[in-house]
Every structure is written in C-alpha cells, then in structure tokens.
Amino acid sequence: MIICKSRDEIRKIGEAGQLVAQVLSKMKDLIKPGVTTEELDQFAEELILKSGATPAFKGYRGYPKSVCVEINECVVHGIPDSRRLKEGDIIGIDVGVQLDGYYGDAAVTYPVGRVSAEATKLIEVTQQALFQGIEYCRVGNRLSDISHAIQSVAERNGFSVVRNYVGHGIGREMHEDPQILNYGPPHQGPLLKEGMVFAIEPMLNCGTYEVEVLPDNWTVVTRNRRLSAHFEHTVAITDQGPLILTELF
C-alpha cells in the first residue's frame, strides 16, 4: 500500500532531506586522495547526531556503519573501512537519516581528483537519468513512467541499468511501497497521486547490468568489475509537480 503524505508530513520529510543534503554537500570537500572511507563515515555520523537526527542505515538489518560508500566497481552497500581514496577513483556516498519520525535518503557519486572520460560520462549520465525519472513524478503519470525514463537515458548513452536493486517509497519508514524499478515499459503500475514520496535511485554500470554480492554479505559489485555510479533523491509528488526534498533549498 502506498501511503500518501500530508503537507505537514512532506515538510518533515523535507527537514530530514535537508540534513541529508547538507551532509552530502559537506562531505564533498573531504573527497580527496588519502582520506579513508571510515573518516568519511565518522564525519557524517557526527554531523547527523549533532543535528538531532539518527543515521538511518546504522543497525538496519545489522548494517554496521552510518553511510554506504561505493568505490569504482561497487554498486551499493559498501561498508566504510580503512581503505584510502586515490586519484582517479569514483565514490558514491549514500546517506539516510531519521529526524522527528521521518526519513530522508539520498546518494551522489563524486570523482576523486581527475578521473577517466568513461567515469566522467557515467557520473553525468547517471545523474541525468535520475533527473529524467524525477521529471515524471507528476500527478496522473504511472509509476513505470519513472522507470522507463531512467532506462531510456541510461541505454541511449550506452550504459546498463542494475536490475537487482530499486528505489522505494519513504516516510515514517525508510522503505515503504512501492518498489521503483529503474527499467521497464512505460504506463504500467499505480497512478501517481499528490502526497506520494519516493526515493528514486538509479544505479548504472559500464557493460553488463549483472552484479554480485561479496562474502561480507553487504558489498554489491559489478560482475565485470567495471565502474558503477549511483544517484538518489527523495522526491514528493505535489500539485505543482515534483519537489526534490534532498536538494539544498
């Protein structure tokens, strides 16, 4: 069941979303060769707690850290550790918080120093795919219009869309209905209504869309070990069109 939110609830998800946006934006300055992903995690955790929120991922199904880090071939759910970033890496950072009973969730992929032309294009296209999906978050569209828009941008640019992980409704729970696939035919599924709030999160790969889970049972990597990028926003459907709650106001 898809839960529609009141204006007041959307405002609260927006407060959580603003904190997520601030954390991601401040972390951008730390993304340099030599920093460890544990240091990134600690920075985010401190800022979240200092703001009166809690990190949504820590303890979720036993996840041990506050953020997820996605270096190069890592698609999602990489666990921060003592690994140091190096020039030419790309790193996705996924942040979720709970504030005053409501969740916000977003992810961005940053280059570390100068990166390859392929990496630059993958990052740009993944962000474009997310924004194209958001463009379809309008009353009267159907859910899979979002999915189809994302897939079209990805494949038109020669990248593949990960099948095994999806976006989700969000609100009083981090994961609510519906599941939002990042691929599929248009005009299928539920009609979009005012008050629906979605975390839309395309993951795009170079080459095959197939992925594998590493033995730590969290880290998801591309099967071909080529690059993957991930962007996510929490978005409300309003009578005025899509409202991105995890973009800095």
What is the binding site for ligand MF3 (CB under 6 A)?
57, 60-61, 63, 68, 77, 94, 96, 105, 168, 199, 201, 232
Which residue type does 108 have?
A: V
State the minimum distance, in angstroms, from the CB of residue 75 to ligand MF3: 11
Total residues contacting Co ion by CB under 5 A comes to 2
State the minimum distance, in angstroms, from the CB of residue 39 to ligand MF3: 19
105 is in an annotated binding site: yes
Vertex 166 angle, CA 92 and 46, to 5°: 40
168 is in an annotated binding site: yes
- Judged by CB, which is closer to Co ion: 169, or 189? 169
Handedness of CA 179, 172, 211, 115 (dihedral sign): positive
What is the rounded CA–CA span in Å between residue 222 and residue 136? 28
- Judged by CB, which is closer to ligand MF3: 87, or 216? 216
What is the rounded CA–CA span in Å between residue 223 and residue 207? 9
State the minimum distance, in angstroms, from the CB of residue 27 to ligand MF3: 15
Asked if 136 and 200 touch (Cβ cutoff 8 Å), the reply is no
Contact with Co ion (CB under 5 A) among 9, 73, 89, 105 = 105
Q: How many CB atoms lie within 10 A of CB 26?
A: 12
Q: How many CB atoms lie within 10 A of CB 63?
A: 16
| Residue whose pair of structure tokens reads 């474009």 in the numeric block | 128
Contact with Co ion (CB under 5 A) among 27, 44, 134, 199 = 199
- Judged by CB, which is closer to Co ion: 106, or 221? 106
Partner whose binding site includes residue 77, from Co ion, ligand MF3, none (CB under 5 to 8 Å by kind): ligand MF3
Q: Is 176 in the site for Co ion (CB under 5 A)?
A: no
What is the rounded CA–CA span in Å between residue 84 and residue 32? 9
Asked if 125 and 133 touch (Cβ cutoff 8 Å), the reply is no
- Quick one: tokens of 193? 């209504």
State the minimum distance, in angstroms, from the CB of residue 64 to ligand MF3: 9
- Judged by CB, which is closer to ligand MF3: 31, or 68? 68
State the minimum distance, in angstroms, from the CB of residue 235 to ligand MF3: 14
- Quick one: tokens of 75? 């698609």
201 is in an annotated binding site: yes
Which residue type does 62 have?
A: G
Annotated binding site for substrate: 77, 175
Q: Which residues bind Co ion (CB under 5 A)?
A: 105, 199
Task: Give the annotated binding-site residues.
Answer: 77, 94, 105, 168, 175, 201, 232
